[in-house]
Amino acid sequence: MDTTGRKTPAPLPIAAWQALGPAGAAREVHARVAALPPALQRAALAWLQPEPELAAELAAGPGRSEPADNAAPAQANPVSRPLHGVPCFAKDLYDVAGVPTWAGSTFLPQVRPTPGDSRLIRRVRALGAAVAGKTHLVEFASGLTGENPHYGDCPHPLFPDRLSGGSSSGSAALVAAGAVPFALGTDTGGSVRVPAAFCGLYGFRLTPGDEFIRDAFPLSPTLDTAGWFTAGADDLLTTWRALTGGPTEAPRREPRGCGLPGRAFLPEMDPGLDDTCTRAAAEFSSPADAATRDQLLGDWRDNLETYLTIGLSEAHAVHRAWLAPYRSHYDPAVWQRFADAGRLPPEKIAGAHHRLQAVRQSWAAYFRVHDFLVLPAVPFPALRKSGCTPAARRAILTLTAPASLGGLACLTLPVALGGGLTAGLQVILPRADSPVVAWILGKCA
């Protein structure tokens, strides 16, 4: 139940969706979407596949053209198609054949044709899942709080006076609202980690340049990653194994990891939230020793400026041809961000890329000794509109930029706060298929 007294359906795990059968699962998606508050529907949902077509896709075999009994659960090899019969949503940066990709804007299909399915869409379908719809986002993925002037700021499903977080706002909100068991997002500077933490979800971020992000509509190709959300640890483990090929066996030894409190490099962080995250991290990691802590903090000193310089200069390059003719169509804040980046001196951009390599070398040294690092994912719980300030954005990026610049995979774990609000931990990993993921999720299940 949300804070207005409206009853919110409990999320169903993947196995429960599979047990509904294709027709039942399609009907359930539509019923759950119809029950959402209108403001959440408008702000989160970009496109919903009609129920008959969704049922047919859920029933289809591996080739997507084989007839199947639409009244019975989809049958498949659970090893080759572990997501058979499972509906999901996709952030509207991924192309779905026959559906325009808007990327949170009002004009993108006018300047960019939508090709066939993105590679990640093809992959989840090959694994047996069906794309139930596409989700809204912060315009062109340039933001972390879930604001969008065209479709509405995306409300938190349980706290409608707060926002879900962004830029993968719609995907996170719809999983938290129980509309589907998992949804695809992207993460450049925290756009999986932040909404997962705000909405009490599990999330996973892959790595820049991998096959699943290369054909999504870009914000910053050097930093963009694919990712997704689930409501439970077991479902995150299932989707992680399916999408990364991560190991099914336990690690041969207990992984070595340590944690840093947020206040170590963000003094203004909420101390109560930071302490709660530190206690949660202590369940599977130890505090970093003084030498490790000092080394990391020294290496991260210029992270925020480095991230903003690289990210925004690349965003400007993507949008350069559209900024003048389509100025009135952009969110003014996003337009200004991209336009200002066009005036960055070339030597500043080159210096940022030099620092990026130094950060990645620092991480490589860390991972020669450790298997993971734990940091808070957010400095505060889900924000109200009045709290969505440039200072708040910089505070979030201070926590998320180290992993973003490192080009590293991240597992996000929810952390309960008082009154139903949540924060999160980001478990930073050297590679997406690290056995640490299964080890930690096993402790969460």
Q: Say whether both 201 and 284 belong to one domain.
A: no
Q: Say whether both 232 and 111 belong to one domain.
A: yes
Spatial contact of 224 and 134, defined as CB atoms under 8 Å apart: no
Beta pairing partners, 88:
131, 182
Rounded to an integer, the average pLDDT of 233-262 is 94
User: Residue 250's pLDDT is what?
Assistant: 77
Q: Say whether both 181 and 284 belong to one domain.
A: no
Q: Say whether both 56 and 194 belong to one domain.
A: yes
Q: Say whether both 171 and 273 belong to one domain.
A: no
Spatial contact of 165 and 188, defined as CB atoms under 8 Å apart: no
Residues 71, 31: Cα–Cα separation, whole Å: 17
Give one DSSP letter per residue of 251-273, joined into a string: PSSPPPEEE--GGGT-TTS-HHH
User: Residue 211's pLDDT is what?
Assistant: 97
- What confidence tens digit (pLDDT) does each residue in 314-363 have? 999 999 999 999 999 999 999 999 999 999 999 999 999 999 999 999 99
Beta strands 286-287 and 87-91, pairing class: unpaired
Is 167 part of the annotated catalytic residue set? Answer: yes
User: Residue 25's pLDDT is what?
Assistant: 98
Residue at 314 is within a domain: no
User: Residue 65's pLDDT is what?
Assistant: 38
User: Residue 445's pLDDT is what?
Assistant: 76
- What confidence tens digit (pLDDT) does each residue in 169-216 have? 999 999 999 999 999 999 999 999 999 999 999 999 999 999 999 999
Q: Say whether both 239 and 145 belong to one domain.
A: yes
Residue at 105 is within a domain: yes
User: Residue 62's pLDDT is what?
Assistant: 58
Query: 64 is in which domain, residue-wise?
Result: 14-70+80-244
Residue at 333 is within a domain: no
Task: Report how many domains make up the chain.
Answer: 2
Measure Cα distances from 286 to 209, 295, 358 in Å: 32, 17, 26
Residues 129, 116: Cα–Cα separation, whole Å: 17
Instruction: Reply yes or no on whether the pLDDT at 246 is more than 50.
Output: yes
Q: Say whether both 231 and 271 belong to one domain.
A: no
User: Residue 114's pLDDT is what?
Assistant: 85
Residues 32, 22: Cα–Cα separation, whole Å: 15
User: Residue 204's pLDDT is what?
Assistant: 99
Rounded to an integer, the average pLDDT of 411-430 is 97
Residue at 161 is within a domain: yes
Instruction: Reply yes or no on whether the pLDDT at 75 is more than 80.
Output: no
Indicate the angle between helix axes 51-59 and 21-34, nearest 10 degrees: 140
Domain closes at, from 193, 215, 244: 244
User: Among 51-65, 70-84, 217-231, whose mean pLDDT is lowest?
Assistant: 70-84
Spatial contact of 397 and 283, defined as CB atoms under 8 Å apart: no
User: Residue 382's pLDDT is what?
Assistant: 98
Is 328 part of the annotated catalytic residue set? Answer: no
Residue at 289 is within a domain: yes
Q: Say whether both 41 and 183 belong to one domain.
A: yes
Residue at 263 is within a domain: yes
- 163-200 as b/e: b if 16+ CB within 10 A: bbbbbbbbbbbbbbbbbbbbbbbbbbbbbbbbbbbbbb
Is 118 part of the annotated catalytic residue set? Answer: no
Question: For residue 195, which of 151, 285, 265, 135 has the smallest C-alpha distance?
Answer: 135
Q: Say whether both 238 and 289 belong to one domain.
A: no
Question: For residue 190, which of 235, 227, 244 has the smallest C-alpha distance?
Answer: 227
Instruction: Reply yes or no on whether the pLDDT at 7 is more than 80.
Output: no
Question: What global pTM score does this model have?
Answer: 0.95
Choosing from 105, 118, 142, 167, the catalytic residue is 167
Q: Say whether both 191 and 266 belong to one domain.
A: no
User: Residue 67's pLDDT is what?
Assistant: 35
CATH number for position 103 = 3.90.1300.10
Residue at 4 is within a domain: no
Residue at 94 is within a domain: yes
Rounded to an integer, the average pLDDT of 148-168 is 98
User: Among 65-79, 163-177, 328-342, 395-409, whose mean pLDDT is lowest?
Assistant: 65-79
Choosing from 191, 362, 404, 434, the catalytic residue is 191
Q: Say whether both 240 and 286 belong to one domain.
A: no
Q: Say whether both 295 and 156 belong to one domain.
A: no
Confidence of residue 103 (pLDDT cuts 50, 70, 90): very high
